[in-house]
A and B are shown apart, each in its own frame.
Chain A
Amino acid sequence: AQKITQTQPGMFVQEKEAVTLDCTYDTSDPSYGLFWYKQPSSGEMIFLIYQGSYDQQNATEGRYSLNFQKARKSANLVISASQLGDSAMYFCAMRGLPLRVQGAQKLVFGQGTRLTINP
């Protein structure tokens, strides 16, 4: 079974500063994937970034980067130069091996971190 832990219920950051959101995981699957999603107050779930367990390099997508430390089982999200629009809930999630050949992906989510960017 997979487990995701986000230990920061809330974070407050000044605009333009960098912010790191913590995520640790646990799994016995040899291959897995890690995701970060953003949920603004409007409620939709927005995919931000993905890291595969065998990827050699840390994933980056614009201002988002994923600090993947496999030995520590951590997959922290780093947002550079934060903006007011970054204020939202952020969820870390993971998937293990597909459950069947057809490939249903069971994503397990963490509890989320509410990020507030102050002007």
Chain B
Amino acid sequence: DTAVSQTPKYLVTQMGNDKSIKCEQNLGHDTMYWYKQDSKKFLKIMFSYNNKELIINETVPNRFSPKSPDKAHLNLHINSLELGDSAVYFCASSRPDRVLTNTGELFFGEGSRLTVL
């Protein structure tokens, strides 16, 4: 059973289109994240939700909108795609902080490679 699963794994689309990436975790975690890995492999946080509440909202264009229908799902919708949006997008989750042994470790999905032409 995949712990954090993302779909699609690959996405190729034209500039100006709108696309979504879905993420689901079956670990019972309360907190989920979206990270972006650029072409130089640099990973940067975009958003974080805790139990459907937005906690972290980094400096990301308004074209990016996360949605969390429940604590096991966090989707990412991107409007008006641009060339610079091409990247690998990682979903992740972490244990509730109330767990005393929580190190803050992130459990990552396999990534979704978005290519904008």
Contacts and interface: CB of A to CB of B under 8 A. Distances in A.
Interface of A: 33, 35, 37, 39, 43-45, 47, 50, 52, 89, 91, 93, 95, 98-109, 111-112
Contacts of A100: 50, 55
A44 B43 CA distance: 13
B31 A103 contact: yes
Q: Specify which of A89, A101, A109 lies most central, judged by the most chain B CB atoms within 10 Å of its CB.
A: A109
Nearest to A112: B41
Interface residues of B, number: 32
A18 to B, nearest CB: 24
Interface string B32-68: 0100000011111100101101011000000000000
A102 B108 contact: no
A35 B44 contact: no
A38 B115 CA distance: 23
A89 B111 contact: no
Contacts of A102: 30-31, 50-51, 53, 55, 97
Interface string B84-110: 000010101010111000111111101
A65 B75 CA distance: 36
Contacts of A45: 90, 92, 106, 108, 111
A44 B108 contact: yes
Given A105-B94, A106-B56, A111 B41 contact: yes
A11 B40 CA distance: 16
B106 A109 contact: no
A6 to B, nearest CB: 11
Contacts of A109: 42-44
Contacts of B56: 99, 104, 106
A33 B100 CA distance: 14
A107 B111 contact: no
Given A33-B104, A47-B105, A104 B42 contact: no
Contacts of A44: 108, 110-111
